[in-house]
Amino acid sequence: MQKLKVSFLSIVSSLKERIGKLDMKKVIHSVKVGIALVLVSLLYLLDPLFQKVGQNAMWAIMTVVVVFEFFAGATLSKGINRAIGTILGGGLGCLAAILADKSGEIGGALVVGISVIIIGVGATYTRSIPSVKKKYDYGVMIFILTFSLVVVSGVRADKIMKLAGERLSNIGMGFAVCIFTSFIYPIWAGDELHSSTATKFDKLATSIQGCLDEYFEIANDKEKQPAMDMSGCKSVMHSKSSDESLANFAKWEPWHGKFGFSYSWEKYLIIGEVLRELAAMVLSFKACIQSVRQPSPTERESVREPCEKIGLSLATILKELGESIRDMKIYRAKILVTQCIRRELISLLVNSENNSTDETTLGLSSFIFQILEM
Amino acid sequence: MQKLKVSFLSIVSSLKERIGKLDMKKVIHSVKVGIALVLVSLLYLLDPLFQKVGQNAMWAIMTVVVVFEFFAGATLSKGINRAIGTILGGGLGCLAAILADKSGEIGGALVVGISVIIIGVGATYTRSIPSVKKKYDYGVMIFILTFSLVVVSGVRADKIMKLAGERLSNIGMGFAVCIFTSFIYPIWAGDELHSSTATKFDKLATSIQGCLDEYFEIANDKEKQPAMDMSGCKSVMHSKSSDESLANFAKWEPWHGKFGFSYSWEKYLIIGEVLRELAAMVLSFKACIQSVRQPSPTERESVREPCEKIGLSLATILKELGESIRDMKIYRAKILVTQCIRRELISLLVNSENNSTDETTLGLSSFIFQILEM
């Protein structure tokens, strides 16, 4: 009995461990997709519903699978793109189909073929224009798809308007289910952008301190090969595309948490750009550390204390800026630290000459001033 | 008559101008999509074909719109993902549908509901794992879609196997049309990656020279605000995600041009990474130029000549490396320039102390050595 209990407990704990390893946000998202799929399947499974919607229930399932994205803003943007693309494509398709219907058999086929090629070429070119691609790529694709399907099947179907209307209502149902499930425990792109921006400050602070530690460790131990971990810094440097897509989704999101309507997500992109430039500077520390031309240990030791002070101040300022963004508050301490660092800088200006690390640190701090002035 | 001719000529020339502004590659791609759409529409338009495929021709049109991508490799990867996703999802869906069929009315509905939620949750979680997302995102999505559609419509359709087979063959036809049109004047992701890597060298060379010019121009004209164009440098720094997706597509592409099978696209990513680090260093020149602490004009003038020499050598090396990548040849001149720069560096070591730009230039050249050693 005791043995059984022990083995049961060990199974439970190993399960807990495995679940602990899973990313909870991803699990919640997956469960929501599963629930949304079952909800739209009911259109097929329940007789009274099926008699109303028929085979077109397929379109509701397709909408859920294709539109349901990780972030609530992405789901909204894709859904609205899909809806507008379907309405425009369907409308134009119906017009073309009616025109084809009135042009006789061979004339009709010609009208269909020519309209498909004109819309296909034109819309595909529009899709490849960067500004359209960024925001409306999916909408234009659905526009081409719906137009082609409607105009081509118009040749064979008698009640083209009825068919188009039914499909549209099914896509609407699928979209409604998506929005409904997406907004239970929603995962906001805005929150993600907000917290990732705050984390960037921490990453840079850690990188700066890591670099300084490494630099003075070489001084103590000449044999040691410098082995820095610049991954945090590099991830900041390569964050442009993910930031942009997050901001893009965040703009679609309604009021939530501390973020109101028309919240200025652009500012996060500006901060991100400045942080990326800062990351580039921190990364170029690497050249100083790995360079063949190293100052002598005594030279190095002489600037150790002021350098470490500056590094610490920089890291503190960065961490505090990150904190203040995270909490959306302006900390008074920030200004104090700035003044303190300014005093230190002036006192250091004299003895920091002739040393490359200090030089770079100065460049860095002039940069931090820019951030502070933002 | 003369007037008519003149106005006709002016129309022609303005048309030519407009066409000249269009990106020819994008135009070719758009035309190919249009042709592919018309080809699959024939399945509907021509009676003998329609009698064979029926309403399922819809799936061929859908496949063309969704799968046809700008790069041939992207089309191939999406098409193969779609095919495998459809086959696996359809197979599993058929099994589940048969099981549901044998479980009676209420039991069947339960089987459908439970299988949809299990597959939906599991596959959606798999989709969000980064390594799967990178390569097989679309395939997993199609797997979920096909499984749901097959298992759910299995409740209502008698000949589920026949339906699934017909849809699959239509998707196959759509894919075949895509591949056929895609491989006429193909746009290879591999070519794009190759030429963009070569262009990066040129961009960096231009940026380095621009920085040096700017730096010594401030010396001559104190009033002038430094206004640098770092866009080339920044575009190199932010190229990580586009490089990775290009390499991802390039791996799917068959033998073409100078690129054989299993060509090592990974190496382009490594070169790209090194170039991004170099770009970060060039970008940190900006701090030197915009810094409040500027050396006196005489100081600056004294290092002008050696700095410009180094800058020119660096730019030449970079351009030649770019050239040698572009032509896939190793130029002997490369080694000559390196030796020349090495001599120059040694002669400069003495008088380059105490100056930040030179310091950074040295850091840069130590970096270039790394590139040369690659």
pLDDT digits (tens, 9 = 90+) for B246-265: 998 888 888 877 777 777 78
Rounded average pLDDT over B228-253? 85
The two three-digit tokens of residue A173, written as one number: 């149902």
| Interval B271-280 mean pLDDT | 83
* Residue numbers in A near B61 (CB within 8 A): 145, 148-149, 152
Which range is most confident: A200-214, A220-234, B15-29, B296-310?
A200-214
Query: Is residue B157 predicted with pLDDT exceeding 70?
Result: no
* Token output for A78: 């894709």
Contact B57, B43 (CB under 8 A): yes
Distance CA A99, CA A113 (A): 12
CA proximity to B160, closest of B91, B218, B104, B114: B91
In A135-280, which ranges are E strands? none
CB B323 within 8 A of CB B310: no
User: What is the separation of C-alpha A369 from the centre of its chain, rounded to a whole number of angstroms?
Assistant: 28
Which chain B residue lies closest to A39 (C-alpha atoms)?
Answer: B113
**What are the C-alpha distances in Å from B109 to residues A41, A64, B91, B195, B213?**
10, 20, 19, 56, 75
Q: How far are the Cα atoms of A185, B21, B118, B214, B221 from residue B122, in angstroms, in the given order?
A: 19, 48, 6, 57, 66
Provide the pLDDT for residue B15: 66
Burial class of residue B104 in the structure, from the number of CB atoms within 10 Å of its CB (0-12 exposed, 13-18 middle, 19+ buried):
exposed
What is the number of other CB atoms lying within 10 angstroms of the CB of residue B64?
26
C-alpha dist (Å) from residue B65 to B202, B258, B314: 37, 31, 47
Length of chain A as a residue count: 374
Closest partner CB to B363 (pick from A145, A276, A288): A288
Residue B183 has pLDDT above 50, yes or no: yes
Position A354 confidence tier, pLDDT thresholds 50, 70, 90: very low
For tokens 């000949």, the residue is: B159
Per the CB < 8 A criterion, the answer to whether A182 and A128 are in contact is no
Cβ-Cβ contacts under 8 Å, B346 against chain A: none
DSSP-based helix, strand, coil % in chain A, nearest 5: 80, 0, 20
What is the chain B residue with the closest CA to A364?
B287
Q: What angle do CA B300, B306, B309 make, to 5 degrees?
A: 125
Contact flag B281-A284 (C-beta cutoff 8 Å): yes
Specify the higher pLDDT residue, A306 or B115: B115
The answer on pLDDT for A246 being more than 80 is yes
Nearest neighbour of B65 by CB, restricted to A70, A113, A144: A144
Give this prediction's pTM. Answer: 0.81
Question: Predicted confidence band at B348 (pLDDT cuts at 50, 70, 90)?
Answer: very low
Span B214-234, mean pLDDT?
67
Q: CA of A327, closest CA in chain B: separation in Å?
A: 29
Contact A366 B292 (CB under 8 A): yes
Among B37, B116, B356, the residue with its CB nearest the CB of A41 is: B116
Where are the extended beta strands (E) located within chain A? none
